[in-house]
Structure 1
Amino acid sequence: MSDSEPVVVVGAGPVGLVTALLLARHGVPAVVLEAAARRDVSGSRAICFQRDVLDVLDRVGCAEPMIERGVTWTTGRTYHRGDELFAVTFTGAGQSAVPPWINISQAEVEARLRDLAAAEPLVDVRYGHRVSGVRQDEEGVEARTEGGGTVRGTHLVGADGGHGAVRELLGIGFPGSTFTDRFLICDIRADLPFPSERRFYFDPEWNPGRQVLVHQCPDRTWRIDWQVPADLDLDAERGSGALDARIRRITGDVPYEIVWATVYRFHERCAAAFASGRAFLAGDAAHLYAPFGARGLNSGVQDAENLAWKLAFVRRGWAPEGLLRSYDTERRAAAEENLRVTTRTMEFLVPRTARQRARRAEALEAARTHPDPRTIIDSGRLAEPFWYLDSPLTTPAGPLEDFPRGPGAARPPVPGVLCPDGPCVVDGEPTRLRRLFGTRFVVLTQGGHAERLPTDVPHRVHALDAIDAEGSLRTALRSGPGTVHVVRPDGHLAAVLPSYDPAAAVAALHRACGRA
C-alpha cells in the first residue's frame, strides 16, 4: 500500500475525527468527508466521558483541556419519591490521574477535535461532501460525493451517524427497535444547590410516574432529562408556560436561562456487521443505545481506537489484512453487550408490558428495605470498557476466577481487559503507564528482563521493577516475580504469562496481530 494513500473517513463528528487523529499518530493520512457545510454545535448532547475513554482522547491531545474544563464526578445517586435508595462511587485499578467521569458538552469536545484536525497535516477535513456511493476493489475503496468528485483510499470508515449513508450503501442491516416514550432534555444555566453528582429520580413529585436525571456541566449549566408523555409538544409547552413550570419544580425561585431544549425518542439498534470488505462502521453508524449509562459516544471512541491501530498495522505491513476481521469480532461483541445492558435498563425505566410494570413497582417498593438495592433497581449501569476475553487476538490464561463486574469494580489484570494505570518513571521522566500505549505493543516484565524481543512486531519492553518505584503498578497488575504482561496498542492485555519466556511472548505478539 502506498503511504500517501489515505484512509477515507465519512463523518466529521467526534468518532470520525478521533479515528483520523489516531491514524495520524501512526503516520497514516486520512481524508474526512462531512456531508454538512458545518456541524451543528447547539446543545450539550453527549456529556459523560468515562476515564478509559479520556485516556484515548489523551492520545490525540484532547483530554487535558477537557479534564480542566469539565465537571468531575465520582458518585451516582438514585432516588425514589425523594428518598435515596443507593449511591455508587467509582474507583479504578491502579492510581490513575484521570478522574472516573467528567461532564462536558459533546459540542465543546468536537470543537477541540476540529482544531486538532485542522493543525494536523495528515488529516484533511472536507465539509459539504455528502457521500452518495461507495465502490471497492482488491486495492482500495472509492467514495463518490455529491458535487465533490471521487475520493480514493486504502480503506473506508463510516462514522456518519445513525442516519448516515455508508451503512445503507454497504447494504448492511440495522435491526433493533425504537421506544415510543419521549424524553425532554433541557440545558439550563443557573446557580443550583446540587453537588456535582449524577442524580437519578424515580417518580419524583415534580414528574410523577416518570423519571428525571440531573447532571452538572461547566459554566453553571445543568443538564436535565425528563421522561415525558409520547404526545408532548415542546413548542406548545414553551408558549403555555408549562416548560417554565416544569423547570421551576426543580430550580424553585432561582433565576435560570434555557440554553438548549429538545425532545427525542431512544433507539436500540446494532448493525448486522461492522465491516464489509475494506469498509467499516463505527460509532452511531454501527450502534445506537439509550443514553442511560453513557454508552453511546464512549463506545464510539473505543470503536475508533480499536480500528485505528489495526488499520495502521496492516498499512505498515506489521500485520496481515486478516487482523481487520477482529474489529468486527471485538466491537460487535462490545455493542451487543451494551445493547443487552441498555435494553434491560429501558425495560425497567419504560416498562412496555404489564409484567415489566409490576416488576418495576415491586422493586421500587422493596428497595427501601433491601440490603443491596442496586441488585434490583436499574437506573442505568454506567459504561465500562468491554473485556476481549474471547477474542482471537487474546492468548488464553486458562481457567479464570469469577471476578466482579459490578459498577466501579476493579478490572482484574487478565488477558482481554484494559491494563490498569499508575505512575511510573521511564527514561528518567515521570509519566503514567497508559501514556506508553497507543502506537506499539508494550511488554511489561520483572526481574531485570528489559531486552527487546526478537520479533517483527513493533514493541517496547519495560521492566516493572525499574519503572515502578512506588510498587503500585505491580500491585494493580498482581504481578509475580516472573509475570509478563503483553499490552496491545489500545491498552488491552493481549497476554499474561506466568514467567519470562521470549518465545511465548513473541507468540502472544504474533497472535495479537492476527497471525496464526
Structure 2
Amino acid sequence: MHAEVAVIGNGPVGQTTALLLARWGIRVLLLDRRPSRDAIGSKAICQQRDVLDIWAAVGAGARIAEEGLTWTTARTFYRDRELFSRELTDPGCSPFPPFVNLSQSRTERILDERIAAEPRIEVRWDHLVTDIAQHPEGITLRCTTSRGQTEIATAYAVACAGAQGAQLRRLLGIGFEGESFDDRFLICDIRTDLPDWSRERRFYFDPEWNPGRQVLIHPCPDSTFRIDWQVPGDYDLDAEESTGELDARIRRIIGDRPYGIVWKSVYRFHSRIADRLRAGRVLLAGDCAHLVAPFGARGLNSGVADAENAAWKLAFVLRGWAPEALLDSYHAERHAAARENIDITTHTMDFLVPRTPELQRRRRETLDAVAADPTLADAVDSGRLCEPHRYVESPLTTANPEAPIAPGTLVPDVPITLDGSPTRLRAIARDGFLVVTTNPGAVAPDSPFPLRVVNAAGTTLPVGAVFLIRPDAHVAAVLPSVDDLPAALRRATARQ
C-alpha cells in the first residue's frame, strides 16, 4: 500500500488521526518508535463527550462510553473538613455522558481493534523517524528499525509522537517555549473496595497526610482508583517503596482494607506550546504540539480535537476539494485552542501550586473564606473541565455578531429526524459539509465535496437561520439565506 499520509506516533491521538483519515478514504501509514503497545497504566483517563462523539464517527465512541465510568459527585476538602460537594447533572440529549473515566491503555486497545478492521491503515512498530526531507511533491521519512534503515515517501505527515516529540520538532525547526513546574506528582492506580467512593471525585487541599500539597482521587472501572499526590521535586519513588512508606501513604487514605497497586509513576507538569503547528507538509498534534497540566483533562481531549481538525483538512486537500492553504488554518485554529488551554491551566496551577508568597497567601485566604462560607465555592480552582474550542477568530469562520449561535462553536447536539428516522445533529455532521435550515425548499449549491441539506423544522434550532456546519461539527456560518452559502463555503474551505 502506498500511503498518502504518515502518522508518527501510535498513541490515542495518532490512532484517531489515522482512523479519521481512513474514514475519508485516505491511505495511512501509522508509525511508532516502540516495538509494541505498552498496555499498562491509567495515564489520560478522562474522555469528554465531544471526544466520544469524534470516536463514534470511527466506531469506537459507544464502546469507550460503555466501558468507562462517570462520577456524579465532586467533593472538595480543605485540611480536615469538606468544603463543598457538587452533584453533576446532565441536561443534554446526547446518548453519551458528559465524560467517562477509562484508562488510556484500554482506550488504545479499543482503537487498535478499529484500526485492525481498517484496510486503509498499515501499522509499523519499531520505526523511529530520524530525518524528514520535504520537497514539492511530498516528504521522505528516514526511519531506524531493529533491522536497519528504511525510507518512506508520503504526501503529508502528522506528528503525534506525544511528549517524546522533541526530536521531530528539532528536525522541523520548531520551537517549544514554555515552562516546567518544580513539584512532581505521584500517581498510583490501586484496586480496592471503596464502594462509597465509586462515583465520587475527591480533591484534597493541604490534608494532614500530605501537608501543604494536594491529593486528587478519581474512580475508574473495575474497582480501581487513581490517586495523584503532589510531592516535592526531589521525591524518590523507589526509596519510598523500599522503606514501606508508599504503603503507609496509601493506607492514610484507604485504611486497613486490602489493595493492590496496578500501576505507579512520577511525573512533572509542563506548560509548553509549539511556535508552529504546521511545518510545510507536516502538522503537529497532541502532546507533540502542546503540553498542559492535566487538571481539567485538556491533554488527550484537545489532542483528539487536533486529530479531527487535521484529518478533514488533509483529506480535502488530497482530494482536490480545497487548496493547500486550508492547512494554514490548522495552525490558526489549534494553536489558539492550545493557547486557551495553557492560559486556563496556568491559572489553575497558580492556585494549586502557588509559587510566590503572594499566591500562597491568596490561596490560603480563599480556602479559609470558603470554609466559613461555602457559597463562595466558585473561587476555588481545582481545574475547569475541558470544553471544545470556539473557532470565532478563525479565517474559515464567517462572522455574524447577531447569530443566535456563535459561528465557530460546536453545533448543539439537538434531536433531528432524517429520512423519517430520529437521530441527532452531531451524529450526521461529520460526513462533509452540512446545511441545516428550516426552509423546506432549500437546495444545496453545486460543490465538488460532500455537501448535504437537512431540514431542521421541529428542532430546537432557531427558525429562519441557515447553519453551515463543517466536517468537524463546528458551525462555519449562520446565514440569513441559502443565497449566502457559496461565499461562506468558499471561506470555510480557504478558497477566498
TM-score in terms of structure 2 length: 0.95
Aligned to 2:484: 504
Q: Which amino acid aligns with 1:26?
A: W
Residue 459 (1) aligns with residue 439 (2): no
Aligned to 2:31: 33
The answer to whether the 8 A contact 1:457-1:509 is kept is no
Counterparts of 2:295 and 2:155, CA distance in 1:
37
Tell me the SS of whatever aligns to 1:214: strand
Residue 351 (1) aligns with residue 354 (2): yes
Cα drift, residue 399 of structure 1: 5.5
Counterparts of 1:487 and 1:75, CA distance in 2:
34
Cα drift, residue 210 of structure 1: 1.1
Counterparts of 1:73 and 1:101, CA distance in 2:
9
Counterparts of 1:286 and 1:92, CA distance in 2:
32
Cα drift, residue 276 of structure 1: 0.7
Tell me the SS of whatever aligns to 2:303: helix
Cα drift, residue 506 of structure 1: 2.0
Aligned to 2:382: 379
Tell me the SS of whatever aligns to 2:170: helix
The answer to whether the 8 A contact 1:15-1:300 is kept is yes
Aligned to 2:466: 484
Q: Which amino acid aligns with 1:152?
A: A
Q: 1:341 aligns with which of 331, 340, 344?
A: 344
Aligned to 2:321: 318
The answer to whether the 8 A contact 2:391-2:409 is kept is yes
Q: 1:71 aligns with which of 69, 78, 92?
A: 69
Q: 1:243 aligns with which of 246, 249, 265?
A: 246
The answer to whether the 8 A contact 1:93-1:420 is kept is no
Cα drift, residue 5 of structure 1: 4.4
Tell me the SS of whatever aligns to 1:132: strand
Tell me the SS of whatever aligns to 1:379: coil
Counterparts of 2:85 and 2:486, CA distance in 1:
45
Q: 2:206 aligns with which of 203, 208, 212?
A: 203
Residue 303 (1) aligns with residue 283 (2): no
Cα drift, residue 369 of structure 1: 3.8
Q: 1:252 to 1:371 in 2, by over 3 A?
A: closer
Residue 111 (1) aligns with residue 93 (2): no
The answer to whether the 8 A contact 1:395-1:508 is kept is yes
Cα drift, residue 368 of structure 1: 2.4
Residue 273 (1) aligns with residue 265 (2): no
Tell me the SS of whatever aligns to 1:85: strand
Q: Deviations over 1:50-80 (max 9, x none)?
A: 1111111111111111111110234433221
Counterparts of 1:309 and 1:93, CA distance in 2:
30
Aligned to 2:494: 514
Aligned residues: 491
Q: Deviations over 1:240-280 (max 9, x none)?
A: 11111111111112211111111111111101110111111
Counterparts of 1:161 and 1:5, CA distance in 2:
22
Aligned to 2:185: 183
Residue 120 (1) aligns with residue 118 (2): yes
Cα drift, residue 398 of structure 1: 2.3
Q: 1:210 to 1:93 in 2, by over 3 A?
A: same
Q: Which amino acid aligns with 1:128?
A: D
Residue 59 (1) aligns with residue 80 (2): no
The answer to whether the 8 A contact 2:90-2:97 is kept is no
Residue 423 (1) aligns with residue 411 (2): no
Tell me the SS of whatever aligns to 2:337: helix
Counterparts of 2:414 and 2:88, CA distance in 1:
16
Aligned to 2:259: 256
Counterparts of 2:268 and 2:94, CA distance in 1:
36
The answer to whether the 8 A contact 2:71-2:219 is kept is no
Counterparts of 1:14 and 1:413, CA distance in 2:
31
Aligned to 1:432: 424
Cα drift, residue 433 of structure 1: 1.6
Cα drift, residue 295 of structure 1: 0.3
Cα drift, residue 371 of structure 1: 6.5
Counterparts of 1:305 and 1:423, CA distance in 2:
23
Percent of aligned pairs with the same amino acid? 54
The answer to whether the 8 A contact 1:78-1:84 is kept is yes
Q: Which amino acid aligns with 1:9?
A: V
Q: Deviations over 1:321-350 (max 9, x none)?
A: 101100000000000010011111111111
The answer to whether the 8 A contact 1:86-1:373 is kept is no
The answer to whether the 8 A contact 1:74-1:101 is kept is no
Q: Which amino acid aligns with 2:184?
A: R
Q: 1:166 aligns with which of 165, 168, 176?
A: 168
The answer to whether the 8 A contact 1:455-1:506 is kept is no
Counterparts of 1:160 and 1:420, CA distance in 2:
32
Query: More displaced, 86-95 or 242-251?
Result: 86-95
Counterparts of 1:153 and 1:127, CA distance in 2:
17
Q: Which amino acid aligns with 1:455?
A: S
Aligned to 1:134: 132
Q: Deviations over 1:443-485 (max 9, x none)?
A: 11003134333333421100011xx5xx3xx2xx3x12x1111
The answer to whether the 8 A contact 1:396-1:415 is kept is yes
Q: Which amino acid aligns with 2:186?
A: L
Q: Which amino acid aligns with 1:512?
A: A
Q: Which amino acid aligns with 1:446?
A: T
Q: Unpaired segments of 5 or more residues in structure 1? A: 401-411
Q: 1:75 to 1:334 in 2, by over 3 A?
A: farther
Cα drift, residue 83 of structure 1: 3.2
Query: More displaced, 446-455 or 321-330?
Result: 446-455
Counterparts of 2:90 and 2:397, CA distance in 1:
22
Counterparts of 1:218 and 1:422, CA distance in 2:
30
The answer to whether the 8 A contact 2:76-2:204 is kept is yes
The answer to whether the 8 A contact 2:391-2:397 is kept is yes
Q: CA RMSD of the aligned region, Å?
A: 1.8
Q: 1:25 to 1:148 in 2, by over 3 A?
A: farther
Q: Deviations over 1:349-380 (max 9, x none)?
A: 11111111111111111122456434421111
Q: Unpaired segments of 5 or more residues in structure 2? A: none
1:71-110 matched pairs, under 5 angstroms: 71-88=69-86, 94-110=92-108
Counterparts of 1:506 and 1:286, CA distance in 2:
34
TM-score in terms of structure 1 length: 0.92
Q: 1:56 to 1:148 in 2, by over 3 A?
A: farther
Aligned to 1:406: none
The answer to whether the 8 A contact 1:34-1:129 is kept is yes
Q: Deviations over 1:380-414 (max 9, x none)?
A: 111111111111111101267xxxxxxxxxxx831
Q: Which amino acid aligns with 2:180?
A: T
